[in-house]
Amino acid sequence: MEVRAKKALGQHFLIDQKIAQDIVEALQVEGQVLEIGPGMGVLTQYLLQRDSLDLKLIEIDSESVSYLLKHYDTLKNRLIQGDFLKLKLEDIFHSNFSVIGNFPYNISSQIFFKILEHKDAVGQVVCMLQKEVAERIAEPAGTKAYGILSVLLQAWYDIEYLFTVSPNSFSPPPKVQSAVIRLKRNARKDLGVDEKLFKQIVKQAFNQRRKTLRNSLKSMINDYAIRSSWPLDRAEGSMLSEFCAKEIFSLRPEKLSVEDFIYLTDLFSLTNEK
């Protein structure tokens, strides 16, 4: 008996074995790995072949869990039945781990926000998701797809778009194209500015992405802050260093790199100190 695909759980089972192998091969790690949403185990079978991996799995669907336990008896103490978004990762992993999965597309952004909360433990992520979301995450500044998740993830991860997967590689086929991406934790230890303020600025700027920063960040800026001239030496490494600090506010958020958002956060902290 196969698992009956449930739409509400984002179940589209990958049926192309070559693609499954390529996804597992894209994971360049040893040690602890968490697979999110194994379904019927199309990736799991190849992950289990790698002796250097210490695999754990989380699957929300009881029918998939029964199927997996029946077909792979080595999964008994590794497979958790539950919701990844509610999983207490610190109870399961006491040191660094990596993440792999063909993510349920309806919650892929939430999965990434959770990974960001554990960015110092998660060394690498290889995942399949909806192509648009994959592009959004992987694209550099200046492109249309660039957004909140791109900035927040690119601050901490080097991100590669690996390949596109067409709907007919799945059963049932999804309505959208899919893509596989890889995220590798970069060397950044901290931002050098207040991280909460950084996130707040990024979110507020992109929530009104058609507006210039002067307008989207209005509630955070006072007139004094806009008029006063800020020290440009803070802009080192920023593509805006050639601009007057004031000009940053005439831009739209998609023009700003991670470094620019850090610079912007620094400007805000300075004026808050005054």
Give the orientation angle of helix 195-207 with respect to helix 258-273, to 10 degrees: 110
Q: In angstroms, give the least distance from the CB of 56 to ligand SAH.
A: 12
| 104 is a site residue for ligand SAH (CB under 6 A) | yes
Euclidean distance between CA atoms 241 and 12, whole angstroms: 47
Instruction: Supply angle C-alpha 85, 197, 240, rounded to 5.
Output: 115
Q: In angstroms, give the least distance from the CB of 118 to ligand SAH.
A: 15
Q: In angstroms, give the least distance from the CB of 16 to ligand SAH.
A: 10
Euclidean distance between CA atoms 15 and 175, whole angstroms: 16
Euclidean distance between CA atoms 116 and 185, whole angstroms: 11
Euclidean distance between CA atoms 29 and 252, whole angstroms: 38
From candidates 39, 123, 147, 253, binder to ligand SAH by CB under 6 A? 39
From candidates 19, 24, 34, 36, binder to ligand SAH by CB under 6 A? 36
According to DSSP, the β-strands at 122-130 and 13-14 are unpaired
| 138 is a site residue for ligand SAH (CB under 6 A) | no
Euclidean distance between CA atoms 214 and 4, whole angstroms: 51
- Going 48 to 60 to 27 to 173, the CA torsion angle's sign is positive
| 58 is a site residue for ligand SAH (CB under 6 A) | yes
Closest CA to 217 of 206, 227, 204: 204
| Interacting span for ligand SAH (CB under 6 A) from 5-13, 115-123, 200-208, 243-251 | 5-13
Rg over alpha carbons for the chain, rounded to the nearest Å, is 21
Euclidean distance between CA atoms 192 and 109, whole angstroms: 26
| Interacting span for ligand SAH (CB under 6 A) from 78-86, 115-123, 138-146, 160-168 | 78-86
Closest CA to 138 of 192, 102, 184: 184
Binding residues with ligand SAH: total (CB under 6 A): 23
From candidates 24, 34, 38, 141, binder to ligand SAH by CB under 6 A? 38
Q: Which is nearer to ligand SAH, 13 or 46 (CB)?
A: 13
From candidates 24, 29, 42, 126, binder to ligand SAH by CB under 6 A? 42
Q: In angstroms, give the least distance from the CB of 58 to ligand SAH.
A: 5
| 59 is a site residue for ligand SAH (CB under 6 A) | yes
| 56 is a site residue for ligand SAH (CB under 6 A) | no
* Residue whose Cβ sits closest to ligand SAH: 37
Site residues, ligand SAH (CB under 6 A)? 9-14, 36-39, 42-43, 58-61, 64, 83-85, 102, 104, 107
